[in-house]
Structure 1
Amino acid sequence: MTKDTKLPEKWQQEKKALKAVQVAFDLGAEIQLQIRREAVDRGINPSDRVRQILGLPVHRKPQRLRLSISLTEEDFLFLADKFNLDPGNKVEIKHLAAELLVEHVSKPQTE
């Protein structure tokens, strides 16, 4: 694309995002936990809560909060064995793992 060609609006926004710098704050565990709790209570992610606290604008639409983890092949093997599934059936492993999380929250907690 030449300089004379105007970028579509969506691309202009992405170009701005590329110029952003990620900043990590090394804070104590209690401070991090409090900010995370505040974010959950407000239905936003912790990064947006930090932006609010700092007085920075938050432009994102509210998003669906979700839990995520990284699973290695060994993790999939473990879960496949736990759920008595083929290790290659990652969709069903994920589904049963989600059901286990829901079940966990539904039970009275002893830990």
Structure 2
Amino acid sequence: MSPAPRRPERWQGSDTALRAVQVAFDVSEAVMEAVRVAAFHDNVSTSTEIRKVLGLPVGEKPKRPRLTVTLSAEDYALLASRYGLNAEDRLAIKEAATQELVAFHGSAVRSRKKAR
């Protein structure tokens, strides 16, 4: 039997992450909402909030705070049409969507100030 292929050194630190397993909990809407609201108020991900509730270790700061969404090929096509871009140019679509999210933030802040 031949030895396992040698991985680049920069990948060596990902061994723990590669062994991690994502777990989904089937709980009621009320439980999901409670976790999401607590995570929102703590300014952490729902994953981090679950770790806190379960008494598991939590990193001090998120490594890469970000928003995520899963996009299908059809979603990319819709967004490409919306932004006037080529559906194959996923980076440009991501950049346009990022700008839309930033603009959303600005309008949401203005709306909250106006409501006061």
* Superposed pair shares fold, TM > 0.5: yes
How much does 1:76 deviate?
1.2
TM alignment of 1:1-111, pairs within 5 A: 14=15, 18=19, 21-58=21-58, 60-63=59-62, 64-107=64-107, 108=111
Aligned counterparts of 1:77 and 1:39: Cα–Cα separation in 2: 33
Aligned counterparts of 1:13 and 1:87: Cα–Cα separation in 2: 32
Does the C-alpha gap of structure 1 residues 89 and 41 become closer, same or farther in structure 2, counting only changes over 3 Å? same
Unaligned runs of 5+ in 2: 4-10
Unaligned runs of 5+ in 1: 2-9
Percent identity, aligned pairs only, is 30
SS of 2:15 mapped into structure 1: helix
Tell me the TM-score normalised to structure 2 length. 0.66
Pick 1 or 2: higher relative contact order, CA cutoff 8 A, min separation 6. 1
Aligned length: 101
How much does 1:95 deviate?
0.8
Tell me the TM-score normalised to structure 1 length. 0.68
Q: CA RMSD in A?
A: 3.0
